[in-house]
Amino acid sequence: MTAHDWYLDNRMAFAARTLEPDDESVFANHLTRCEECRSAVAELERDLAWLPMGLAPVPLRPGLIHALMEGVLRPRRIHWWNWAAGLATAASVSLALGVWIAARREIGGLKSALEARQGWLSATKDSLSAIMGAERVLQETVRGPGYEGGFLLFYDQDTQRWNVVVHDLPPARAGEAYQLWFATGRGLVPGPELRANGQRPTFLSLPAPGPWSDFVGAVLTVGPAGAGAPSDRPHGVELARLKF
Amino acid sequence: MPADGSDFNRRPAHGVPAGRAGTPALAATRALSLHARLVARDERALAELIETITPWLLGITQALLSDAAEAEDVVQETFTTVWNRIGQVPTESRGLLAWILRAARNRAIDRLRSRKRRVMKSARLAVHGMDGEPFAAAEEPDEAGTAGWHVHRTVHAALEALPREQQVVVWLAYFSGLTQSQIGARLGIPIGTVKTRLRLAFDKLRLVLGPMKDWIL
């Protein structure tokens, strides 16, 4: 059986419209390419053309012929005020829809901003509660060439960690980085680099660099980024120094 | 067209329009003339066409849709298409009315399938069943010359001559708009059996209906 045999078998079914909708589409597509099937189907349709007349005629209700004539010759006209009213309605709906979408966007944006603020506030509250309960809190204003902000250091007894906060500092210039140093009796011990964005405080939580009694303060510097492993000699410019 | 449209409503009391006494109402010469007049945008020709064929169109569309109002919609759409595209309608001797009958049936089937009313239709069929004769003989109107009645008589006789099981599948397929698989499910028979019965039935019908093309539109 060839692929075309399926079409041969179903010519009658297609002409009578008894094929499944999907098969009907496949067959109709085939007809666009197959003259033989197209002619055969046309002949079948012609032969069956009068079959609908096997049913009895339906008596016409009064006025139907006139209504059909009117429908064909004078399809309902739409006056300008009809489409103008429709246009106005459509415009109103569009406007309302636009306002609603804009309002939703605005509300969505405000909601996101509010959530961000609430998160920031919660984090700040946590930090403040730790600061308020801290045994030692040191603060220093940062003043350097192009660098102004704050530098805060406190010890959280609950977690037994040192917390460093820098705020209002602009991002370090290209090729530079902020560097934290712990001041001990043995000299400066390098801490981590700090990243500041100028808008939000930067928090760091660090383990103590050595015995508690040996710890005397901290230093913040800014200098070349990637200058190699920090030594006990701070490089760059010292921005702030905290001492107990 | 007359201003009051009264000519459009001129028909016998029972509603089926009167034919032209003594001549086949759908004779080729008249139909060709009708076609030519329609092409010439003759509104009286349109009125004649509507008056002649609407009862038959309603017969098939109401059978398919089981809804009188929707059937009238389909007939209206069909006539609108004919009037607007008369230039595309076949001009052969049996082209016009056959084309309209087929167009109306196809449109009704499209509606039936697009609106997924088959379930409703099948339910109605299940209620009414096929216990009676699918093609019960219609009572002939008073006027012997009712337009197209002779065609109906011939087609009806051909349908009645089919074996009962073939009558049923033809009724469900052609006049109820069911697909082969739906017919199989409806009757509880394999789809192959449905195909065979339909093929046999249509082959027989073609033998009777085919020759009619020489003298009917």
pLDDT tens-digit series, residues B109-124: 999 888 765 555 555 5
Across the A/B interface, how many CB contacts are shorter than 8 Å?
Answer: 170
Cβ within 8 Å, pair A60-B55: yes
CB B148 within 8 A of CB B25: yes
Residue B129, chain A, CB below 8 Å: the answer is no
Q: Please name which of B189, B188, B194, B192 lies closest in space to residue B169, comparing C-alpha atoms.
A: B194
- Least CB-CB distance to B175: which of A55, A64, A69? A55
Give B109's contacts in chain A (Cβ within 8 Å).
17
Q: Mind telling me how many Å the CA of A95 is from chain B's nearest CA?
A: 33
- Is this complex's ipTM strictly greater than 0.85? no
DSSP B217: -
Q: Which residue of A has its CA nearest to B175?
A: A52
CB interface of B with A, residues 44-63, below 8 Å: 46-47, 50-51, 54-60, 62-63
Q: Kindly report the number of other CB atoms within 10 A of residue B67's CB atom.
A: 19
CB A49 within 8 A of CB B98: yes
Residue A71, chain B, CB below 8 Å: the answer is yes
Distance CA B104, CA B53 (A): 11
The dotted CATH code for B128-209 is 1.10.10.10
- pLDDT by residue (tens digit) across B12-45? 333 344 443 334 444 555 555 788 888 888 899 8
Say which residues have a Cβ less than 8 Å from residue A196's Cβ, sequence separation at least 6. A149, A166, A169, A170, A171, A172, A178, A202
Distance CA B118, CA B126 (A): 12
Cβ within 8 Å, pair B198-A72: no
Contacts 24+ apart (CB under 8 A), B80-85: B80/A71, B80/A72, B80/A75, B82/B38, B82/B49, B83/A72, B83/A73, B83/B38, B83/B46
Residue B105, chain A, CB below 8 Å: the answer is yes
CA gyration radius, chain A? 42
Q: Mind telling me how many Å the CA of A43 is from chain B's nearest CA?
A: 9
Residue B176's H or E segment, with its range, is none
How many angstroms separate the Cα of A189 from the Cα of each of A180, A181, A214, A235?
Answer: 9, 6, 11, 13
Q: Mind telling me how many Å the CA of A48 is from chain B's nearest CA?
A: 7
Residue B202, chain A, CB below 8 Å: the answer is yes
Distance CA A166, CA A150 (A): 6
Architecture of domain B7-111: Orthogonal Bundle (1.10)
CB interface of B with A, residues 19-38, below 8 Å: none
Give B177's contacts in chain A (Cβ within 8 Å).
17
Predicted pLDDT at A83 = 64
Predicted pLDDT at A67 = 93
Helix (H, G, I), strand (E, B) or coil at A191: strand
Q: Please name which of A158, A169, A230 lies closest in space to residue A201, comparing C-alpha atoms.
A: A169
One-letter identity of residue A76: R
Residue B125, chain A, CB below 8 Å: the answer is no
Distance CA B201, CA B161 (A): 10
Measured over all CA atoms, what is the biggest interatomic distance in chain A, rounded to whole angstroms? Answer: 115
Give B205's contacts in chain A (Cβ within 8 Å).
47-48, 51
Q: Which residues pair with A176 in a beta bridge?
A: A224
- For residue B171, how many C-alpha atoms fall within 13 Å in the half-sphere facing its CB? 23
Q: Delimit the domains of chain B by residue range.
A: 7-111, 128-209
Cβ within 8 Å, pair A50-B98: yes
DSSP B128: H
DSSP A56: P
Residue ranges with strand state E in B10-135? none
Q: Kindly report the number of other CB atoms within 10 A of residue A231's CB atom.
A: 11
CB B103 within 8 A of CB B79: no
- For residue B118, how many C-alpha atoms fall within 13 Å in the half-sphere facing its CB? 19
- Least CB-CB distance to A46: which of B156, B175, B213? B213
Q: Kindly report the number of other CB atoms within 10 A of residue A165's CB atom.
A: 18
Q: Which residue of A has its CA nearest to B81?
A: A72
Give CA B153 to chain center in angstroms. 13
Give the position of tokens 């399809």: A75
Tens-level pLDDT at each residue, chain A (244 residues): 677 889 999 999 999 999 998 999 999 999 999 999 999 998 898 888 889 999 989 988 999 999 999 999 887 555 556 667 667 778 888 888 888 888 888 888 888 888 777 766 766 666 666 666 666 678 888 877 788 888 888 777 666 777 888 888 888 888 888 888 888 877 788 888 888 877 778 878 877 666 666 777 888 888 887 665 555 567 778 888 888 7
